[in-house]
Amino acid sequence: MTAIIEARQLQKNYGSSVAVKNVSFTVTEGEFLSLLGASGSGKTTILRMIAGLERPTGGQVLFRGEDITHVPASQRNLRMVFQDFALFPNLNVWRNVAFGLRLRINRGRVTKEEIKARVDCFLETVQLSAHAEKLPHQLSGGQRQRVALARALVTDPPVVLFDEPLGSLDASLRKAMQLELKRLHRELRKTFIYVTHDQEEALGLSDRVAVLLDGQLLQLTTPETMYAQPNSAAVARFIGTANVITGTLHATADRSACVELPGGARITLGTSPASLASGGAVTIMIRAEHMRVTARSGQPAAGLLARVCERLFLGDKVRYELELGAAGARLTALEARERERFAVGDEVQVTADPANVTVIACGEQTAGKLA
């Protein structure tokens, strides 16, 4: 695939504060890439440097191989959709969408007939043809967001940049607009670069996801790979609900391996890390939905012994917060269907299929702990 946008060692400082630290990545033609991170992670700053709204302290931005680092935003063939919509309150829907095209009439790049055809087409694409004469204040939040989207797309840019565009919408409307964005991307095959702090949104919409923390790029890969194989404890915690545990690796009699926690409790691994000998430290991840909670029996424990600290009914699943014996470490389990209902204070056993235990880091010898 051909690269359309390339960030090369982007750096952004605000005085002594470093917002972005040597971030590099490429975006291919027609890709949906999400920049995912918490507030202050640097994701919006990166987007604004690509758009030309912020000047990098260091590094380069390339568009189809050409350095555009110092090209003004108005001369970059990119469009941006903001969280606050940025619509003109005194213009109706049709004129808001047409605004960018109307600026081109005097340059001889488009005719009035072409403007009408394109605006009508994109209003139909975002399902707003019946609202063309309305002013922005007469629209719902979702409708205003679709106007902003149509206005960005109508000039036929190869790249559209999104700065948390659904952040101000309620939950049900966010879901509807996510489906709308997915449909538009599939139909138009434009390159979308999307900033969000919502992990579910990023995983559901994107071809690839870049996770950022404190201005640094931690991992860039497909949503499926990032969820199943995070490259660090920080990524594992940020994506989904993960139990990240550090303990001591031990070989077992059947040539498999396990991780020993304080108090002697052990978690069996599906495969042993080839780079680490028995006795070394290892950090593992077990997704909350892969933890199984059962009643404690009189027989020797088949898993970890724990006490229920909290039970949360979430509709399609139940979340248990669990405390491990003497170590006092916490685990989270998500049960899609409760085989048995447990109350706060109940003593339980917790198990996980070794195939669902992922090794994410190896390090120096350390006491077992929840990382």
The pLDDT of residue 136 is above 60:
yes
Please tell me the least confidently modeled range out of 42-56, 66-80, 259-273: 259-273
3-234: CATH, from 3.40.190.10, 1.20.1300.10, 3.40.50.300, 3.40.50.2300: 3.40.50.300
DSSP 314: -
Residues above pLDDT 90, as percent of the chain: 59
The pLDDT of residue 340 is above 70:
yes
| Residue 364 confidence (pLDDT) | 46
Diameter over CA atoms, the chain: 85
Per-residue three-class SS string for 23-82: EEEEEECCCEEEEECCCCCCHHHHHHHHHCCCCCCEEEEEECCEECCCCCHHHCCEEEEC
Looking at per-residue pLDDT, the higher value among 248 and 276 belongs to: 248
Whole-angstrom Cα distance, residue 140 to residue 124? 17
| Residue 362 confidence (pLDDT) | 73
| Residue 14 confidence (pLDDT) | 94
Looking at per-residue pLDDT, the higher value among 306 and 109 belongs to: 306
User: Strands 159-163 and 78-81, how do they pair?
Assistant: parallel
| Residue 263 confidence (pLDDT) | 67
Please tell me the least confidently modeled range out of 76-80, 95-99, 181-185, 275-279: 275-279
315 SS3 class: coil
The pLDDT of residue 212 is above 90:
yes
The pLDDT of residue 76 is above 60:
yes
- Whether 227 and 235 have beta carbons less than 8 Å apart is answered as no
Residues 6+ apart with CB under 8 A from 329: 245, 261, 262, 323, 369, 370
Of 131-140, 264-273, 297-306, which one has max mean pLDDT? 131-140
| Residue 259 confidence (pLDDT) | 87
| Residue 367 confidence (pLDDT) | 38
| Residue 297 confidence (pLDDT) | 75
Which string of DSSP letters, residue by residue, matches 202-237? HHHH-SEEEEEETTEEEEEE-HHHHHHS-SSHHHHH
What is the b/e burial string over 118-138, where b = at least 16 CB atoms within 10 angstroms of the residue's CB? bbeebbebbebeebbeebbee
Whole-angstrom Cα distance, residue 187 to residue 16? 44
| Residue 280 confidence (pLDDT) | 80
Q: Which residue has the tokens 């917002």?
A: 19
241-370: CATH, from 2.120.10.10, 3.40.640.10, 3.30.460.90, 2.40.50.140: 2.40.50.140
Per-residue tokens: 320: 């248990």
Residue pLDDT, tens place only, 137-189: 999 888 898 899 889 888 889 999 999 988 877 888 888 889 988 988 998 89
The pLDDT of residue 302 is above 70:
no
Q: Which residues pair with 311 in a beta bridge?
A: 320
Backbone angles phi, psi at 243, to 5 degrees: -95, 115
| Residue 336 confidence (pLDDT) | 86
User: Strands 266-269 and 216-221, how do they pair?
Assistant: unpaired
| Residue 106 confidence (pLDDT) | 55
| Residue 347 confidence (pLDDT) | 93
How many degrees, rounded to 5, is the angle at CA 114 between CA 113 and CA 117? 90
The pLDDT of residue 262 is above 70:
no
pTM: 0.88
Per-residue tokens: 326: 């003497």
Whole-angstrom Cα distance, residue 312 to residue 320? 7
Residue pLDDT, tens place only, 213-255: 999 999 999 999 999 999 999 999 999 999 998 888 887 666 6
Residues above pLDDT 70, as percent of the chain: 90
| Residue 107 confidence (pLDDT) | 59
| Residue 236 confidence (pLDDT) | 95
Please tell me the least confidently modeled range out of 11-15, 133-137, 148-152, 273-277: 273-277
| Residue 328 confidence (pLDDT) | 67
| Domain residue ranges of the chain, discontinuous segments joined by + | 3-234, 241-370
**Helix H or strand E segment including 333:** strand 330-335
DSSP 179: H
Q: Which residue has the tokens 């087409």?
A: 121
